[in-house]
Amino acid sequence: MRKPLIAGNWKMYKTSDQAVKLASGIKGSLKSFETADVVLCPAFTVLNAVYNVISDSSLQLGAQDLFWEKEGAFTGEVSPIMLKDCGCEYVIIGHSERRKYFHETDETINKKIKAALDVGLKPIVCVGETLEEREAGKTIEVIKHQLTGCFAGFNIEDMLNVTIAYEPVWAIGTGKNATALQAEEAHRFIRTFIVEKFSQGVANTIRILYGGSVKPANIKELLNEKDVDGALVGGASLEVSSFVDIVKNSI
Ligand code: PEP
């Protein structure tokens, strides 16, 4: 039985005061809640502030991206070691907004996953098709291509520390979530891919999250599906009540 994981992607929202308020509110509402792993992924600038709020709770910290080098002349970038230093345990890699606006590719995502694993960070790796690709009947083909590129060169041990997020691009921030059946179809394919490329053991262990307009009202139905192990939540993670209700509805 895989423990559900609910991660909040705060994107480019929240100044330090706002971030502390949000993290404190979530912590207060989820005291001694242990039925799901809960990860908060704020912007780099408030990682420390959020860590200071949640470090004495079961909430875990994640970042939204990293660069693959350990250190060096890479202006504007943040290294895996720096994220560890801020108290991060997780890092989102390959979000569709990074693929779209910052031209990330499966090759650069692959390097980032490796770099995260090297320092003991757990990557949450995002894959998913655009509306155009879905309408052209290419959903599975696209996901397969992304998974193949993102995980090229990894072994079973690496994969045991990976979480995958299936995030159909057309469902992100649109209010139009994938149906439970659409999500399950993609998740089942991802798990089968993991069996074929790695092992049944990895496939049984790895958590596959759904992301795309998750709300308190739809989380239960999504999680009822056999291969949906949690959620990566954007918009609804920015308010205490909606995020806490998603976590509470995940059991
Ligand atoms: C996301 O940003 O990963 C996401 C799923 O956003 P939203 O929940 O707002 O669709």
80 CB within 6 A, ligand 1: no
Q: Which residues are catalytic?
A: 95, 167
3-state secondary structure of 5: strand
Kindly tell me the burial class for residue 224, based on how many C-beta atoms sit within 10 Å of its own C-beta (0-12, 13-18, 19 or more): exposed
228 CB within 6 A, ligand 1: no
pTM for the whole structure? 0.97
How remote is the CA of residue 121 from the centroid of ligand 1, in Å? 22
Looking at residue 234, the DSSP 8-state letter turns out to be S
Atom nearest to 235 CA in ligand 1: 9
Measured CA to CA in angstroms, residue 140 lies from 31, 124, 168 at distances of: 39, 19, 11
pLDDT in tens, the chain (251 residues): 799 999 999 999 999 999 999 999 999 999 988 899 999 999 999 999 999 999 999 999 999 999 999 999 999 999 999 999 999 999 999 999 999 999 999 999 999 999 999 999 999 999 999 999 999 999 999 999 999 999 999 999 999 999 999 999 999 999 988 999 999 999 999 999 999 999 999 999 999 999 999 999 999 999 999 999 999 999 999 999 999 999 999 98
| pLDDT for residue 33 | 86
How remote is the CA of residue 72 from the centroid of ligand 1, in Å? 32
Q: Chain centroid to CA 160: how far?
A: 15
Decide which of 3.30.465.10, 3.40.50.300, 3.40.190.10, 3.20.20.70 is the CATH code for 5-249. Answer: 3.20.20.70
| pLDDT for residue 30 | 95
Side-chain half-sphere CA neighbours of 3 within 13 A: 9
3-state secondary structure of 223: helix
Domain ranges within the chain, ordered by starting residue:
5-249
Tokens linked to 44: 């780099």
Tokens linked to 18: 């706002």
